[in-house]
A = this chain, B = another copy of it.
Amino acid sequence: MYSFLEKLGSLGSSRSETISSVSEDNNNGSMATIIVPDVVPSPVEDCQRLHKAFEGLGTDEKDLIKVLGHRNASQRKEIRETYLQLYNQSLIDALQSELSGDFRKAIVLWTMDPPERDAKLANEALKMCKKGVKYLKIIIEIACATSPDHLMAVRQAYCSLFHCSFEEDIASHVSSLPLRKLLVGLVSSYRYEREVVDLAIANSEASTLNEAIKTKKLDQDHVVWILSVRNFYQLKATFECYEKNYGNAIDKDIKSSGKGDLQNLLGAAISCIELTEKHFAVVIKESVAGLGTDEDSLTRGIVTRAEIDMVRIKEQYRLLYKGSLDADVIDDTSGDYRDFLMTLLGKGI
């Protein structure tokens, strides 16, 4: 495990930034893998090229990738707005109607406004959550691996898109009360964002968490409160204190305490908070491991992190699996879908 200070140092830029800071960061020493050209065509030029790619009998997928795969969030926003003005059609609708399969899903998610994209991912996850707790981990990611302002924007987008609040929809789909309480707590958080750590609180809350794990009372109010209210720096310090004081990493102790869904989701939350890039390295590895590919998870991992911390995710992937994330993605994908993902990974067309 890294030392606390090393981990703190790496935390700042590993969370989702607001759109404006993403765009400022791009190609400027950031942890993004997408490549934005030094001279970016105007939104009108980009839209004309996209519109031309849709014309005729077939669609020119390569041109779609060459434009959209090399624009950051704020540039894509301008493109969406300009496209609607020029052609009186939503660019997202055009992509939906002209494309198909995994490539369509990936480029549509990439082109959407990030808070709307996450609201859509969360809504689909809730509809699927009866089929397995893995879907609820997507909500954990949105709550624990993004910035407080982004999470607020996701809640606003959720209300606009689905005509109820995010929390109400969690409650109507998740029947288990402990899971519901954890999820509602996490998505309702608006954490302080700067580095403020109180070591006395870290020790005391490590002890509270240890008590809850030992007595198998993981659903108690204190646990949810600590994980959903404390700032990410404070929580990293608490997890560090936990390991120092009780001998094991907290996620290991949670896993040992039982194999239920609650343990599973708490583990995901801690993993997102403790080392976001490691969490996503695992998400991507699991999506390509074994026979077959979990394209939805692979797409989500790459699309949501490509302009945030993909450089670090690749490093973690190398450390954990002694292999290359790029190579594994190439192995498991093909066609336009592969070209697009590799473009987001900084190795495409």
B-chain residues with CB within 8 Å of residue A184 when the two chains form the complex: 225, 229
Name the B residues within 8 Å of A194 (CB-CB).
163
Closest to A229 in B: B167
| Cβ–Cβ < 8 Å partners of A1 in chain B | none
Indicate if A245 sits at the interface (CB-CB under 8 A): no
A181 within 8 A of B: yes
Is A92 interfacial (CB-CB < 8 Å)?
no
CB distance from A298 to the nearest CB of B (A): 31
Task: Count residues of chain A with CB under 8 A from any CB of chain B.
Answer: 29
A93, chain B: closest CB distance, angstroms: 24
A45 within 8 A of B: no
CB closest chain-B residue, reference A226 = B171
CB neighbours (8 Å) of A167 from chain B are 189-190, 229
A119 to B225 CA separation, bound complex (whole angstroms): 21
Interface of chain A residues 134 through 166 with chain B (CB within 8 A): 148-149, 152, 155-156, 159, 163-166
Per-residue B-contact encoding for A34-48, CB less than 8 Å = 1, 0 else: 000000000000000
What is the distance, in angstroms, from A20's C-beta to the closest C-beta of chain B? Answer: 15
Known: A181-B221, A184-B225. A230 touches B193 (CB 8 A): no
Q: Is A196 at the interface (CB under 8 A from chain B)?
A: yes
B230 and A190 contact, CB distance less than 8 A: no
CB pair B168 A192 closer than 8 Å: yes
B159/A192 in contact, CB under 8 A: yes
Given the complex of chains A and B, what is the CA–CA distance between A193 and B225 in angstroms?
Answer: 26
Inter-chain contacts of A165 with B (CB < 8 A) = 189-192, 229, 231
- Residues in B with CB closer than 8 Å to A207 are none
A293 close to chain B: CB less than 8 A: no
B177 touching A221, Cβ below 8 Å: yes
B225 & A164 in contact (Cβ 8 Å cutoff): no
Interface string of A168-200 (1 = CB under 8 A from B): 100100000100010010001111111010000
Chain B contacts for A159, CB-based, 8 A: 148, 190, 192-193
| A230–B164 CA distance with the chains assembled, in angstroms | 9
Interface centre among A171, A190, A191 (most CB of B within 10 A): A190
The minimal Cβ–Cβ distance linking A237 to chain B, given in whole angstroms, is 14
Q: In the assembled complex, how far is the CB of residue A104 from the closest CB belonging to chain B, in whole angstroms?
A: 30
Complex-state Cα separation, A181 to B164, whole angstroms: 23
Whether A196 pairs with B231 at a CB distance below 8 angstroms is: no
Q: A210 → chain B, closest Cβ, in Å? A: 19
- Using an 8 Å CB-CB cutoff, how does the interface string of A220-261 with B read, 1 for contact, 0 for none? 010001000111000000000000000000000000000000
A61 to B221, CA, bound (A): 51
- A sample of 5 cross-chain residue pairs with beta-carbon separation below 8 angstroms, ordered by A number, consists of A148-B159, A164-B192, A167-B229, A168-B229, A171-B225
A residues touching B (Cβ–Cβ < 8 Å)?
A: 148-149, 152, 155-156, 159, 163-168, 171, 177, 181, 184, 188-194, 196, 221, 225, 229-231
**New contact pairs (4) apart from A163-B192, A168-B230, A184-B229, CB-CB < 8 Å:** A149-B156, A159-B190, A165-B189, A188-B188
Top 4 A-B pairs ranked by shortest CB distance? A188-B188, A155-B190, A165-B192, A167-B229
